[in-house]
Amino acid sequence: MCGLCGELSLNDVPASAAAVAAMTASMARRGPDGAGLWSNGHAALGHRRLKIIDLSERAQQPMVDPSLGVSVAFNGCIYNYKALRGELEAKGYKFFSDGDTEVVLKAWHAWGHDAPKRFNGMFAFAIVERDTGKVTLVRDRLGIKPLYYSEIPGRRVRFASSLSALLAAGDVDTSIDPVALNHYMSFDAVVPPPRTILKGVRKVEPGTIVSFDDKGKRSDHRYWTLNFGRSGDDAGSDFAYTKGAWLLRTLEAKFGRDAFDAYLRGYFDHFAFQSITTQQMLDYLAPNLLDKYPGKMSLAEVKAWIEQPGIPADATVPASPRFAAIAAARAEWLAGTRKPADVGAKDWNTQEWMYFLDGLPEQVAPAALTAFDAAWHLTGHANAEIARRWYLVSIRSGYLPARAAMADYMTRIGRRYLVVPLYEALAQTPDGLKFARSVYAKAKPGDHPITQASIDKVLARAGDSPSPEAADTVNLA
């Protein structure tokens, strides 16, 4: 563990060596083997060193390469630094030390923003470029190594490996960030980046490069994003249990209640108080049920339930008289033979409303939605599942009266699976995209980072910048 810090001055006053020294001293426990401070006037770096790889003074930090005009303060470990050093030497770079810090410095000079993509390890570092005056902060993919910064526009930018180090230098807004406090209370004492509990301090996000030019203009570049094969919301759902219960009902229907009950009694006796694998379950199922009653259901058919996505075609479909009545009411309303007030929705539960809304066509005439909304007040509905489905219908149908309440919903609701489909639907039209950008400009600070990444991707696919700051003002009515 090491500690880094620094300051970029944005006016004619040199970077404060005293402030950087105070930050460096406060991180002594992070690096008991050495301390260093470097300044070129407009920028300064500080470092506390824990010697791990190159123990010599040649690897002392901050490290400066005058021939390249690059200085670095680095915390972490690059596991593939020897391989990268070989690549850099093949490009003509000369090395004066044997550790990974110099590899970071020269990799940045050689590859710029692509350098972190090549690093295998955990890291946070600050780069000062002599010729451009730019200061760049970089954090590893998963944010293992911390990196905080504090901005005062027109005056200075400070950064450090710990929040307490920034406070040691003073001149930081220490009032509580109310959005961060909400995150802290909601996520069990966690404040997702870029926020911290203090208004005046921010974190560099994992997998992100934050650059400041010599005037203090900041630009963020995400060089790595964690992609999910399945929805993060599905991972915590009961889908697997629901599908498993459906398989059991199908087995019961095919083999009969008596045969299936006998099988279950034997199954629970055989595996009492044990954890078993799927293969063990199949090995017991075949001789004790499938083979006893040939022709009812094959092992291949059972495996299709377990190993393939979706629900097999031979599934026993439950009959629901209430759903059938709802489907009939929906069809009659769409055909114009039943008034909205007469669909019988007064006692519908959430699942019944979901069934009704999910069965609507892609587009419904706005006039029909207006009449239905007047009868059942779905715009602004307090149930998040019902509201999401209503807003999806509204977006596809061009029902504009829902937009104001929809904007409030998308700002308040942070669940990825609830809001991302709305952004996807809005992004299909230019007007909808403008509305999405306007909403996201307000919603993004309160959204979870995973939700932010998903929405950014939706807007990027639509040919739009993921940054909400330039959002146009649109009519919400």
Q: Where are the domains of the chain?
A: 3-222, 233-307, 321-470
Q: Which pLDDT band, with edges at 50, 70 and 90, does 225 fall under?
A: confident
Residue 195 has pLDDT above 60, yes or no: yes
Instruction: Looking at 229-365, list the stretches that DSSP marks H as alpha helix, in order from N- to C-terminal side.
Output: 232-235, 239-255, 257-270, 278-285, 299-307, 321-335, 350-358
Residue 476 has pLDDT above 60, yes or no: no
How many angstroms from the chain centroid is the CA of residue 221? 15
CATH of 233-307, one of 3.90.79.10, 1.10.390.10, 3.30.420.140, 3.40.50.300: 1.10.390.10
Q: Give me the CATH code for the 3-222 domain, please.
A: 3.60.20.10
The string over 322-345, giving b where at least 16 C-beta atoms fall within 10 Å of a residue's C-beta and e elsewhere, is eeeebeebbeebeeeebebeebeb
Q: Which fold has domain 321-470?
A: 1.25.40
Q: Per-residue pLDDT tens for 324-369? A: 999 999 999 999 999 999 999 999 999 999 999 999 999 999 999 9
- Topology match between the domains 3-222 and 321-470: no
Average pLDDT over residues 414-431: 92
Higher pLDDT, 406 or 187: 406
For the chain, give the percent of residues with pLDDT over 90. Answer: 79
Q: Per-residue pLDDT tens for 129-185? A: 999 999 999 999 999 999 999 999 999 999 999 999 999 999 999 999 999 999 898
**Could you tell me which residues come within 8 angstroms of residue 23 by beta carbon, excluding any fewer than 6 positions away?**
5, 46, 158, 160, 165, 166, 168, 169
Query: What average pLDDT does the chain have?
Result: 91
